[in-house]
Amino acid sequence: MSSIEKKPITALSRTRRTLPMALLRARETVMDRFRPMLHRHGVTEQQWRVLRVLDEADSIDASELAEGAAILAPSLSRILKTLETRGFIELRKDPGDGRRSLISLTRAGSAFLAEVAPESAEIYKEIEGLIGAQRIETLLDEIDTLIVSLSEKR
Amino acid sequence: MSSIEKKPITALSRTRRTLPMALLRARETVMDRFRPMLHRHGVTEQQWRVLRVLDEADSIDASELAEGAAILAPSLSRILKTLETRGFIELRKDPGDGRRSLISLTRAGSAFLAEVAPESAEIYKEIEGLIGAQRIETLLDEIDTLIVSLSEKR
DNA sequence: TCGCATTGCTTAACATGTTAACTGAAAGGG
DNA sequence: CCCTTTCAGTTAACATGTTAAGCAATGCGA
């Protein structure tokens, strides 16, 4: 035994054995493999997510982008400013709705993505090799089920 | 179709269908149910994790606490300062090793935890009701397997 | 069409995440 | 012992997370 255990008085589950902690640890464990690579390329994990979502959907508005990248609006505002300064994205007003702004990748943005994507894909394959592609698919399905079960049911 | 799809040129998986994004979304979906309650009690999610880990292990050092709560050392430094100011925790030097500091809950900290714990437990039960306790157990096991598969194998 | 609530996005303020640099204490080797 | 290395924590700097407030454009009912 490395440390003395103590019985908590509360009705709480063991912290390690809860969904929030397990999901957090799992995500950190996975991201540990990507972070050094992203850092070498000078982008944060969130900036990288934004670029990927933009690559998948051509010219979307900020709300869809926020949803797609799982980033809250205030954070996205700052990130878009950074990416625009860096020349990776382009913003223009939605001609039909003056409130919305439409965002798209620039040539430089696409080029950057094309440069980093192979490394990212390779890391993902390493992970698949360690866990098993089928096991990952199963896990993704179960996670989707969990999300559906908890969404919009209050 | 709500938005126009575009085929990305890259070798990347669909962003939504990747481990980091799925784990992030799942965690956010779960935490959405806890956040309002924690906010009412004036603690952040991270502060709450620290208090819970302290409740489970009596008087541990900062490194173990960081590991247990899945919080990096710099963040923990700030959080401990906050919790100490609030009177929930107590720090003292390790008599055997002048570098380490031993941290423990105060009476007030235990009292706070005892006050909030029932609400937290109730929310967790709601979640179990929506997902199924057995399904959660299975998921937790699979996540543990994933973490083990990816840890320390570089 | 006026008045007002709603929507899309930004700003503000504070807490945490992330990397790097730094400090003091302990450990090890010569 | 001294010197160097390692280790535990902290501080710094910048990016993001989180909630609340603000602002302009839009939608809508009276």
For B101-124, how does the pLDDT look when each residue is reduced to its tens digit (9 = 90+)? Answer: 999 999 999 999 999 999 999 999
Average pLDDT taken over every residue of chain B: 92
- In single-letter form, the type of residue at position A2 comes to S
The reported pLDDT for the residue numbered B17 is: 95
B31 CB less than 7 Å from any atom of strand D: yes
Q: Which residue is nearest to nucleotide D27 (CA to C1')?
A: A97
The C-alpha angle with vertex A32 and arms to A29 and A38, in degrees rounded to 5, equals 145
Tell me the per-residue pLDDT of A65-78, one tens digit each, with 9 for 90 and over: 999 999 999 999 99
The reported pLDDT for the residue numbered B58 is: 82
B95 CB less than 7 Å from any atom of strand C: no
d(CA B97, CA A51): 47
The reported pLDDT for the residue numbered A6 is: 57
Q: Give the percent of chain B with pLDDT over 70.
A: 90
In this complex, the residue of A17, A28, A153 whose CB is nearest that of residue B70 is: A28
The reported pLDDT for the residue numbered B138 is: 96
Tell me the per-residue pLDDT of B56-70, one tens digit each, with 9 for 90 and over: 998 999 999 999 999
Helices (H), A1-154: 19-31, 35-40, 45-56, 62-69, 73-85, 107-131, 133-150
pLDDT-derived band at B4, boundaries 50, 70, 90: very low
- Contact between A101 and A81 under an 8 Å Cβ cutoff? The reply is no
Backbone angles phi, psi at A105, to 5 degrees: -75, 145
Q: Which CATH architecture has domain A17-150?
A: Orthogonal Bundle (1.10)
- Token output for B27: 């965690």
Quick one: fold of B33-123? Answer: Arc Repressor Mutant, subunit A (1.10.10)
Q: Which residues contact A47 (CB under 8 A, 6 or more apart)?
A: A79, A82, A83
d(CA B59, CA B103): 5
The reported pLDDT for the residue numbered B3 is: 45
Rounded to whole angstroms, the distance from the CA of residue A81 to the C1' of nucleotide C6 is 26
Q: Which residue is nearest to nucleotide C19 (CA to C1')?
A: A39
Q: Do A23 and B23 touch (CB under 8 A)?
A: yes
Q: Chain B interface, mutation test: which of A21, A47, A151, most B Cβ atoms within 10 Å?
A: A21
3-state secondary structure of B60: strand
Q: Do A15 and B130 touch (CB under 8 A)?
A: no
Residues A121-125, mean pLDDT to the nearest whole number: 96
* Residue bearing tokens 């959660």: B136
Residue A7 has pLDDT above 60, yes or no: no
Question: Strand C positions with any atom < 7 Å from protein CB?
Answer: 7-13, 15-20, 24-27
- Contact between A43 and A115 under an 8 Å Cβ cutoff? The reply is no
Question: Strand D positions with any atom < 7 Å from protein CB?
Answer: 7-13, 15-20, 24-27
Q: Do B150 and A140 touch (CB under 8 A)?
A: no
Tell me the per-residue pLDDT of B10-32, one tens digit each, with 9 for 90 and over: 666 688 999 999 999 999 999 99
The reported pLDDT for the residue numbered A115 is: 97
Q: Where are the domains of chain B?
A: 33-123
d(CA B3, CA B88): 50
The reported pLDDT for the residue numbered A85 is: 97
d(CA B75, CA A91): 34
Residues B49-78, mean pLDDT to the nearest whole number: 96
Cβ–Cβ contacts within 10 Å for residue A138, how many?
12
d(CA B107, CA B89): 9
The reported pLDDT for the residue numbered B114 is: 97
Chain B residues closer than 8 Å to A138 by CB: 142
Average pLDDT taken over every residue of chain A: 92
d(CA B124, CA B140): 14
Chain B residues closer than 8 Å to A24 by CB: 27, 70
Residues B37-63, mean pLDDT to the nearest whole number: 96
Residue B2 has pLDDT above 60, yes or no: no
3-state secondary structure of B134: helix
Whole-prediction pTM: 0.92
Residues A122-137, mean pLDDT to the nearest whole number: 96
The reported pLDDT for the residue numbered A58 is: 82
Please, which residues bridge with residue A60 across strands? A103
The reported pLDDT for the residue numbered A4 is: 46
- Token output for B137: 């157990």
For the ranges A12-16, A40-44, B55-59, the lowest mean pLDDT is seen at A12-16
Residues A3-17, mean pLDDT to the nearest whole number: 67
Distance, in angstroms, between B85 CA and closest chain A CA?
A: 23
Q: Chain B interface, mutation test: which of A29, A34, A75, A125, most B Cβ atoms within 10 Å?
A: A29
Rounded to whole angstroms, the distance from the CA of residue A95 to the C1' of nucleotide C2 is 26
Q: Which residue is nearest to nucleotide D20 (CA to C1')?
A: A74
For the ranges A2-11, A23-32, A134-143, B84-93, the lowest mean pLDDT is seen at A2-11
The reported pLDDT for the residue numbered B154 is: 58
